[in-house]
Each structure stands twice: as structure tokens, then as C-alpha cells.
Amino acid sequence: MSFLEHILRWDFFLKMLTVIVVDLTLSGDNAVVIAAAAKPLPAAMKKRALIGGALCAVAALVLATFFATFLLHVKFLQLAGGLMILWIAFGLFKEE
């Protein structure tokens, strides 16, 4: 299956949209960092910095989402990721 055929499938779009929505929902910390960085700027520059920072953050999240979506198709990568998460979880329980 070619790259174009792959991205034109509906299940791909549904999975990608799901990841984008979750990613944007969980990325509220980006807004806090951008606001903290723009706080000391003069009013005219602050507005430009906030808009530019937000646009760059969204663009970076969308690009990272595309990359993550393609990584989901690598054999055994989900299994390896799940095992790593279990290892981290057991480590957190063991420390407490």
C-alpha cells in the first residue's frame, strides 16, 4: 500500500483525529509556558508572541501526531511500549 493510499483510508483519519484530540487536550501546559515566556514582553510584542507560540505549538503537536501514528504500524512497537509502561508502573509502586 502506497503512502497516499494509506493516509486516504477512513480508519487512518479516525485514529489520527483521536490522537490529535487527546494530544491537544493534554497539552494545556504549553499554554502556561507560552504565557509565562510572553509575560515580561511589551503589550504589542506579547500578543504576537502568544499567537506565534500557540501556532508553533499546534504545528509541532500535529507533526508529532503524524509521526506517532506511523509508528503505531511498526511491528512489536506497541508491545515494547506497553512493557516499558508496565516496568515504570511497577517501579512507581515499589518506591512507595
Q: What is the pLDDT of residues 42-92, one digit of tens each?
A: 988 998 998 998 888 888 878 887 888 888 888 898 889 889 999 999 988
- Residue 35, pLDDT score: 86
> Which CA distances in Å does 54 have to 36, 60, 75, 93?
13, 10, 34, 36
Return the residue matching grid coordinates 494530544: 23
Task: Specify the pTM.
Answer: 0.53
The one-letter code for the residue type at 31 is: A
SS3 61: helix
Q: What angle do CA 33, 38, 41 make, to 5 degrees?
A: 160
Residue 3: pLDDT band (50, 70, 90) is low
